[in-house]
Chains A and B, each alone.
Chain A
Amino acid sequence: NAGVTQTPKFQVLKTGQSMTLQCAQDMNHNSMYWYRQDPGMGLRLIYYSASEGTTDKGEVPNGYNVSRLNKREFSLRLESAAPSQTSVYFCASSAHSAGSSYEQYFGPGTRLTVT
């Protein structure tokens, strides 16, 4: 049982390049989330998917797109990277079902640097 996995762990991009961050969970959770973490800013929600087939914007969606490929996988795409997107990115999942207690479980994070 791996929990939430993310790839890659580190990435350096040049301005304008694109990339996709991959996330998968094996806990049969309905909901998945993408956050970014910047110094002094805490965790900010980029996008989330309450269930397979649905996605919604979070607090800071500009410059990102997501795909909920199936129940297990939720990817985050940067179409044209900018230095402002230098950050640590976390994927998380939660059960989001009747009787669940709302907690989220996190992947190990991806440190992205855009030069």
Chain B
Amino acid sequence: AQTVTQSQPEMSVQEAETVTLSCTYDTSESDYYLFWYKQPPSRQMILVIRQEAYKQQNATENRFSVNFQKAAKSFSLKISDSQLGDAAMYFCAYAGNNRKLIWGLGTSLAVNP
């Protein structure tokens, strides 16, 4: 069975600095997707970025980028130029052939002014 592990329950970053959130996963599938979702205090789950496993190029969305290491089964999220609005819970998720999402337990990110 697939699993997703986020080893950092809490992280903090200074405004305008860069932070990296870690995620590792375990799977025997070769074709899958990985996602980072953001959950701010409003509770709304927001898709931040997605990565297709067959693509070697790391996905980027504005200040958010990933470091996808398929052989190491690692999928970290880098947030550049951190802003106060980035403070949230961040969840890593995996979707394989059955298309159900397997979720990590989340990393709570605080942004200090």
B70-85 CB mask vs A (1 if < 8 Å, else 0) is 0000000000000000
Task: Tell yes or no: A34 within 8 A of B by CB.
Answer: no
Task: Tell yes or no: A2 within 8 A of B by CB.
Answer: no
**Main secondary structure on A side of the interface with B:** strand
B46 to chain A, nearest CB (A): 8
Contact A43 B103 (CB under 8 A): yes
The size class of the interface chain B forms with chain A is 10 to 19
Count of chain A residues with Cβ under 8 Å from any Cβ of B?
24
A58-B100 in contact given A42-B106, A103-B33, A103-B35 (Cβ < 8 Å):
yes
B-side interface residues toward A, CB under 8 Å? 33, 35, 42-47, 50, 52, 91, 95, 99-101, 103-106
A-side interface residues toward B, CB under 8 Å? 31, 33, 40-43, 45, 48, 50, 58, 88, 90, 92, 94, 96, 101-106, 108-109, 111
